[in-house]
Amino acid sequence: MLDLNLIRADADAVKAAVRNRQMAELDPVVDEVLALDARRRELLKEVETLKADRNAASKAISRLKDAAEREARIAEQKGLGDLIAGLDDRLRGIDEALQAQLNTLPNLPDPRTPIGQSEDDNVLLRAVGTPRQFDFDPQPHWDLGPRLGLIDFERGAKLTGSRFYVLTGAGARLQRALIAWMLDLHTRGQGYTEVYTPFLVRENILYGAGQLPKFRENLYHDAEEDLWLVPTAEVPITGLHKDEILEPGALPKRYTGYTPCFRREKMAAGRDVRGIKRGHQFDKVEMYVFCRPEQSDDALERMREHAEATCAGLGLPYRVKQLCTADLGFSARMTYDLEVWAPGCGEWLEVSSVSNCGDFQARRANIRFRRETGARPEFVHTLNGSGLGLPRILIAVLENYQQADGTVVVPEVLRPWMGGLDRLEPEA
């Protein structure tokens, strides 16, 4: 959520920002917000004056000893309550309308975020590692996986439907190894605290992270208990400190967590149906930071380095992109994407998205801190980044480490979690 004071102070800057995001249709929303805000304050003054009168009158009545006079004064006050209640209702209506409009506005891009028309205008910052040269035709993972007995698409579809798959044997273990290795990397060397969160959350937790109301149709919802399956660990981790005022010295707080992620992918229906690149359920290890406003620029760079270290540790060629205004997520003000090369399917796969959300999520989730004991609370800044998305990193490992004989070499760093196994071969 944007700061209402900011919109009041510089509505034109907000309009320019939404236009840069290619969301010009939100232009009128800014004016609507200003109009509602003005009406709200007008009405607020009126109703608060009445309330102050009522409070004074009630207090005076309580001091009266004479019964007749009391009755007379009480009779005078009759009707005032209904009048106030009526105005309160109108005020609530305006407030809700204001909130609803405010909720549709995305975060303002950082001035350093390049302005662009579409994802084609994302800026390639650099490429690290050289894609391996093959002296044979590298296979895509949807051929490699089933052949080596690692991925079973048919049974995934039987169990649940399209876009679901089963990992078996060394395939399942390889994913588990990746999760364990990544979590250890983040907690040991990079200073994150591991968290294991619920995978089902309340509606207001999704709202805090900026997923609701905008992305409702892409989420799974349990009607019975009115709970939502998390689309990313970013959601429950943002919610960890919802409605808290963090004490001086508590920041920065850094978390890493593994969760499955559930997405209906309605918006991407028909895209990437082949393989395990885009499923309704996938696993991810997430990094997350709560920090002071002045720390978030630096925190973003560090988190990007942490994500890069994960790609590099696996020996995968990757490239770093900075997203342009058109491709930036709703809550983000600046984002780096990491893509690894998958030689089998012949494309760069987005395995990490590292974003600085500024105070946008903190405002929605009401997460604040004090600089010093007794100081006024201020909103924290939040950052999130994948470290990394599992199915895509699994694809990259299988396709990059495949050999001419159809086997796959296990990356060095994962072997301790694979029981020393150094090569994936078809089961005899």
Which residues, other chains included, contact 132 with Cβ-Cβ below 8 Å and sequence gap of 6+?
317, 343, 400
Q: Closer to RNA at the Cβ: 19 or 54?
A: 54
270 binds RNA (CB under 7 A): no
Which residues, other chains included, contact 360 with Cβ-Cβ below 8 Å and sequence gap of 6+?
1, 2, 107, 210, 331, 332, 333, 382
371 is catalytic: no
Between β-strands 253-262 and 193-195, what pairing exists: parallel, antiparallel or unpaired? parallel
118 binds RNA (CB under 7 A): no
260 binds RNA (CB under 7 A): no
- Tell me the C-alpha distance between 320 and 332, whole Å: 17
Interface residue with RNA, options 112, 120, 130, 373 (CB under 7 A): 373
85 binds RNA (CB under 7 A): yes
Residue of 318, 222, 292 lying closest to 262 (CA atoms): 222
Interface residue with RNA, options 24, 25, 28, 58 (CB under 7 A): 58
Beta carbons of 353 and 337 less than 8 angstroms apart: yes
Residue of 304, 310, 347, 343 lying closest to 323 (CA atoms): 304
Residues 376-405 that bind RNA (CB under 7 A): 376-377
Torsion of CA 5, 6, 7, 8, to 10 degrees: 50
353 is catalytic: yes
80 binds RNA (CB under 7 A): yes
Residues 346-365 that bind RNA (CB under 7 A): none
Q: Closer to RNA at the Cβ: 217 or 225?
A: 225
CA 243 to chain centre: 18
Residues 222-251 that bind RNA (CB under 7 A): 245
55 binds RNA (CB under 7 A): yes
**Max CA distance (Å), the chain:** 105
117 binds RNA (CB under 7 A): no
Interface residue with RNA, options 10, 28, 41, 159 (CB under 7 A): 41
Active site residues: 263, 278, 350, 353, 392
Interface with RNA (CB under 7 A): 4, 41, 44-45, 48, 51-52, 54-59, 61-62, 74, 77-78, 80-81, 85, 92, 245, 368, 373-374, 376-377
